[in-house]
Structure 1
Amino acid sequence: MVSLSPPPRVPLSPYAPLSSSTPLPSPIPLPSPIPLSLSAPPSSPPAPSPPAPLPVPLSPSGHLDSFGRDGLPPAGAWPEFHWDLPELRYPQRLNCARELLDATIARLGGGRPCLTDGAGQTWSYQEVLDRVARIARVLVDDFGLVPGNRVLLRGPNSPWMAACWLAVIRAGGVAVSTAPLLRGGELRTMADRAGVQLALCDERFTGELEPAVAGVPVVAYSARGDGGALGRLAAGKPASFTPADTAADDVALIAFTSGTSGEPKATVHFHRDVLAIADTFSARVLQPRADDVFAGSPPLAFTFGLGGLLVFPLRAGARAVLLEDGSPRALFGAVAGLGITVLFTAPTAYRAALRDIDGYDLRTLRLCVSAGEALPEATWRAFREVTGLRIVDGIGSTEMLHVFISAAGDDIRPGATGKVVPGYRARIVDAAGEPVPDGVPGRLAVQGPTGCRYLSDPRQHQQVQRGWNLTGDTYIRDSDGYFWYQARSDDMIVSAGYNIAAPEVEQALLRHHAVAECAVVGAADTERGTVVKAFVRPGPGAEPGPALARELQDFVKREIAPYKYPRLVEFVTELPFSSTGKLQRAVLRRAGTPAHSSGDGEPPAPA
């Protein structure tokens, strides 16, 4: 047996850690939420916000390795949490893997289908539970895992990847999932930040992982057949394992942000948080059925995928199809054959599917969910027109674990992200953190049953202010409570004194028949400081050049305020997207000057 002793503590910030050894009262009652107004009345100046309360004291931990709690932010830096809904008042002792498997089996039976791979091979709920129990025994018996140890997971979506995640949680470990596209340096950073002590990896992806986590045991599994080395070890274990006696506020997972705004941050989430996203957004907005079949493109390593492709279906007793290839062609092509009813993917995939929509049989689909980037209204309307399906838009974040603003069915207003998900609160605030009236753009601030807790990271103070989670997005809330996305706060373009939201210009361009995809950023300009620059991937049959650039500029002037039109237009064959489907505008900002541009926005005439 390899003993997984905790690594030496290396201070990563000047924070004084919360003590995990201090005796705490038991049980600890949940506090009554402090009512906070979503916005100040327009006719009077906003009242000062109350000081942020301290978080609920932590209950006695079931972890022997206290690394996760030791790295939590100091008490005053936590956001305010709310458990307003009755279903969010979880018992003090809670293991979310038990709730997702054992409790679902007790409620609905173990024979129903649970996890399916791309080839159609399906494990029942009882078969998943048996495999999870065997893997948990391998972790504990063969590798000495104790509750609180961190286990890195690496591999594309598959039932085996899902079983490994559930096994780590069942054994009381902390899951640190990583995407298969990450390189050695990125893996090393994440492993070091999370203090990883063991790794479970798809056997096809060990090459870059093993040198990145030198000294850490790496156990390979196969996504097919008998499960490879890990599967053979598990086969020799009994199919029983009592879930670790973890606290509801013990750390269950460490998820890394995508790093689109800088160095990735490690977010910490508790067992109760995992269930909370299912009992709010999924249960209250999506309203899944036990006969639903979930599928999608996001990796389980990202919280959008973890929720939509594992936590939500298992909480509902539904089936999850875990596709290794999440490309639009593979995803939409698999719908009919696998009977998929609920689909999770990014706006770019819905746009891409429109190009070949006549080649897909989507009759089994009843629900399409979009997140990761703002969903353009043009994409929503085009998809609705050809499929009859209304895409459910939503905004979530790794810090909040999943979606907190959304709308479904008749509540959808095309172009709006939606309303606050039941269980959450949101408001728009100014630079000082004070609420602004409806109709005024500002920073989106959120509270709820989940929230930001960075692991040993001073950036906690930037993300959480006065008890509110700041998402980094600029929004407007209307008088009906709908939230309208304007831009990422760092994507606002200030040109000649005007504030211009890049996504608004993008949506205008996407309404032109010659535009397949586009991205808008600010570009340096000697006269105006910054000008609007559009990168455009032309659609089939469109001829890129000065004439089309001029046509697009004139089109935007007619669609929105003329001062917002792109003075610079560059035609490209592709746009840069992250593995989560997010447009990487930072890459485009570093691009050179386009050929089709001029100081007054009129492209030069061809030579």
Structure 2
Amino acid sequence: MAYGHSAHVDSFSRDHLPARETWPELLDTSPSYPDVLNCASVLLTEAVERFGAEQVCMVDDAGTWTYGELADTVDRLARVLTEVYELVPGNRVLLYGSNSPWLVACWFATVMAGGVAVTVAPDLRSKELATIAGLSSAGLALCDAGGRSEVLAAGVAGMTLACFGDDDPENLCGLARRAEPGFAGVPTAADDVALIAFTSGTTGSPKGCMHFHRDVLAVCDTFSTQVLAPRSSDVFAGTPPLGFTYGLGGLVLFPFRAGARTVFPSYPGPAGLLEAIPKHRISVLFTAPSAYRALLDHIADVDLSSLRRCVSAGEHLPVRTWQSWYEATGLRIIDGLGATELLHIFISAADDDIRPGATGRVVPGWLAKVVDENGQEVPDGTPGRLAVRGPIGCRYLYGDRQSEYVKYGWNITGDTYVRDAGGYFWYQGRSDDMIISAGHNISAVEVESVLLTHPAVAEAAVVGKPDDELGQVVAAYIVIRTGHLPGAELATELQDHVKRSIAAYKHPRHIDFIKKLPRTATNKLQRYRLREGE
């Protein structure tokens, strides 16, 4: 598609895209969309037309929303945003709150009105909000009642605040109810920016990733349609915040594209899922490996018969977790590798295509290969850097890090993988997490996987620790299970366990027992904090 016409009056997003020659190449076989496209209008309008206005789309403690009710609310909200808050196409809107139907409605209204949605996780605090609002130059913040104080404390000059979700008749909910219906979605270009997603900070500094209207539909029409294969009768639920693209796709975009419904549990995390699954007959579950491990300890008396799809992403899925879940439930977890830079999952496998321990194969509509430092493809069975190309490409806000992610026309994800002869990709670790000790390349993930097979280990994280003689040595941080005692005796037992399982030089020479591993809001492990000694 030619990159030309724009409906944005405020050209900030387009002005801050990286130079066109630094973008990755897109596949010629990418899904085709019209030049004028508003993804919010398409998702809502087509859902109402195909599945009916009375089809339920969202459920929470306050009640149910049908597709017709949501479409009407979004129209009225969009009118409030444009007429009361003077939003013009291209303005950035900060969306801050816990997962809820009103947060979804605000996302749709923002994009419908031609705005650029900047959705952030609900656990971010004022300093982090100020950073993201400043980077995106957001002039309007929409938040729930619980987030009001943090947004105000952020003190972003020139940013207007509007709240939803309480009984104030002058808040967004009240204004929307009194607004005129029938808002016409702004005819944005397919390559106008629809959202800026910020990475979750596994390396310490979030990066803004700009995605177009056509990108939003492309993730629906590749991973969701081709691998997940949802049905209009499905009931979705999960733990990832809508502020991260894993949650946005799994809890909003994919169910809406399929005419399904999403349930927002009474409270977040595994505990909320344990209540919601039998109560609402959840059939499609999106969460992280650590949540599946947490659920395993409590599902013996829980009715999980409604589940048919369990999706995992955000961090590596250990084979032990996959196997334990399968043995307990009979369900095969659909693992997936995605990236904020590429919006959602591009390597995965479902049903009989799953190979436990492998992330999967390339999702239809994408290409992937394993390359060396010079971008040359390496033979199957050889570790290397993962390179990806598809219908979506990395476009960083400001573009100062663009050359780190895009090389030779490919997106270089920062993951080290091995591809086998069957086309399956096996995760070895983040490229910067490979440990080099006495000339040996040691995969942190491999050592973690072995540690997790010991009955005393609930969670494990492995990093390289500087060493004068060996360059680096393996250091392990362990969260132990109830009933086991930390100490030198257990540490020695774990070291011997690793030596018996894999090459002895890979064993952790340092073991620390800690109460909790540092993670992002999407449960991604923050190894940099362990390396820095936090």
TM-score over 0.5 for the pair: yes
Alignment deviations for residues 517-556 of structure 1 (CA, whole Å, 9 cap, x no partner): 1111111223212111111112122222222211111111
**Alpha-carbon distance in structure 2 between the residues aligned to 1:435 and 1:228:** 59
Give the conservation status (yes or no) of the 8 Å contact 1:372–1:580.
yes
**Alpha-carbon distance in structure 2 between the residues aligned to 1:362 and 1:370:** 17
2:309 to 351, 355, 367: 367
**Alpha-carbon distance in structure 1 between the residues aligned to 2:36 and 2:516:** 50
**Alpha-carbon distance in structure 1 between the residues aligned to 2:330 and 2:385:** 34
2:35 to 92, 97, 105: 92
Aligned to 1:115: 58
Deviation of 1:472 after TM superposition, in Å, equals 0.5
Give the conservation status (yes or no) of the 8 Å contact 1:152–1:176.
yes
**Alpha-carbon distance in structure 2 between the residues aligned to 1:333 and 1:527:** 53
- SS of 2:26's partner is coil
Give the conservation status (yes or no) of the 8 Å contact 1:120–1:338.
no
1:411 to 318, 331, 353: 353
Alignment deviations for residues 120-160 of structure 1 (CA, whole Å, 9 cap, x no partner): 61100000001101100001111111111111111010000
Verify: 1:77 aligned to 2:52, yes or no.
Answer: no
1:542 to 481, 484, 502: 484
**Alpha-carbon distance in structure 2 between the residues aligned to 1:369 and 1:325:** 20
Verify: 1:102 aligned to 2:52, yes or no.
Answer: no
Alignment deviations for residues 472-520 of structure 1 (CA, whole Å, 9 cap, x no partner): 0000001110000000011101111100010100000111111111111
**Alpha-carbon distance in structure 2 between the residues aligned to 1:265 and 1:514:** 37
- CA root-mean-square deviation: 1.4
Alignment deviations for residues 333-386 of structure 1 (CA, whole Å, 9 cap, x no partner): 210001110010111000111122214221111111000000000100011101
Verify: 1:62 aligned to 2:7, yes or no.
Answer: yes
Alignment deviations for residues 197-234 of structure 1 (CA, whole Å, 9 cap, x no partner): 11111121111212422321100111x66887111111
Verify: 1:500 aligned to 2:500, yes or no.
Answer: no
How many residue pairs align between the two structures?
533
Aligned to 2:387: 445
Aligned to 1:41: none
**Alpha-carbon distance in structure 2 between the residues aligned to 1:325 and 1:577:** 19
**Alpha-carbon distance in structure 2 between the residues aligned to 1:240 and 1:211:** 36
Give the conservation status (yes or no) of the 8 Å contact 1:157–1:324.
no
Aligned to 2:228: 286
**Alpha-carbon distance in structure 1 between the residues aligned to 2:497 and 2:102:** 50
Over 3 Å counting, the alpha-carbon distance change for 1:312 and 1:303 in structure 2 is same
Aligned residue type for 2:463: V
2:183 to 241, 263, 287: 241
**Alpha-carbon distance in structure 1 between the residues aligned to 2:169 and 2:143:** 11
Deviation of 1:239 after TM superposition, in Å, equals 2.1
Verify: 1:584 aligned to 2:526, yes or no.
Answer: yes
Verify: 1:564 aligned to 2:509, yes or no.
Answer: no
Which has the larger displacement, 200-209 or 276-285? Answer: 200-209
- SS of 1:283's partner is helix
In the TM superposition, what are the counterparts of 1:310-389 in structure 2 within 5 Å? 310-323=252-265, 325-389=267-331
Aligned to 1:216: 159
**Alpha-carbon distance in structure 2 between the residues aligned to 1:239 and 1:337:** 34
Deviation of 1:469 after TM superposition, in Å, equals 0.4
**Alpha-carbon distance in structure 2 between the residues aligned to 1:308 and 1:76:** 32
Give the conservation status (yes or no) of the 8 Å contact 2:58–2:66.
yes
Over 3 Å counting, the alpha-carbon distance change for 1:227 and 1:330 in structure 2 is farther
Give the conservation status (yes or no) of the 8 Å contact 1:61–1:246.
yes
Aligned residue type for 2:254: F
**Alpha-carbon distance in structure 2 between the residues aligned to 1:145 and 1:347:** 40
**Alpha-carbon distance in structure 1 between the residues aligned to 2:224 and 2:319:** 23
Give the conservation status (yes or no) of the 8 Å contact 2:89–2:113.
yes
Aligned to 1:8: none
Over the matched positions of the two proteins, sequence identity in percent amounts to: 56
Alignment deviations for residues 160-203 of structure 1 (CA, whole Å, 9 cap, x no partner): 00000000011111101111211212111111111111111112
Over 3 Å counting, the alpha-carbon distance change for 1:226 and 1:532 in structure 2 is same
Aligned residue type for 1:176: V
**Alpha-carbon distance in structure 1 between the residues aligned to 2:168 and 2:388:** 45
Give the conservation status (yes or no) of the 8 Å contact 2:387–2:413.
yes
Over 3 Å counting, the alpha-carbon distance change for 1:383 and 1:294 in structure 2 is same
Aligned residue type for 1:303: T
Asked which structure has the greater CA Rg, the reply is: 1
**Alpha-carbon distance in structure 1 between the residues aligned to 2:430 and 2:453:** 21
Give the conservation status (yes or no) of the 8 Å contact 1:399–1:452.
yes
Deviation of 1:83 after TM superposition, in Å, equals 4.7
Deviation of 1:262 after TM superposition, in Å, equals 3.5
TM-score (norm 2): 0.97
Aligned residue type for 2:475: K
Over 3 Å counting, the alpha-carbon distance change for 1:188 and 1:319 in structure 2 is same
In the TM superposition, what are the counterparts of 1:453-532 in structure 2 within 5 Å? 453-532=395-474
Which has the larger displacement, 369-378 or 120-129? Answer: 120-129
Aligned to 2:131: 189
**Alpha-carbon distance in structure 1 between the residues aligned to 2:299 and 2:505:** 36
Give the conservation status (yes or no) of the 8 Å contact 1:93–1:246.
yes
- SS of 1:357's partner is coil
**Alpha-carbon distance in structure 2 between the residues aligned to 1:414 and 1:228:** 53
Give the conservation status (yes or no) of the 8 Å contact 2:414–2:430.
yes
1:308 to 229, 250, 253: 250
Alignment deviations for residues 313-348 of structure 1 (CA, whole Å, 9 cap, x no partner): 000000011236321111232100011100101110
**Alpha-carbon distance in structure 2 between the residues aligned to 1:215 and 1:480:** 55
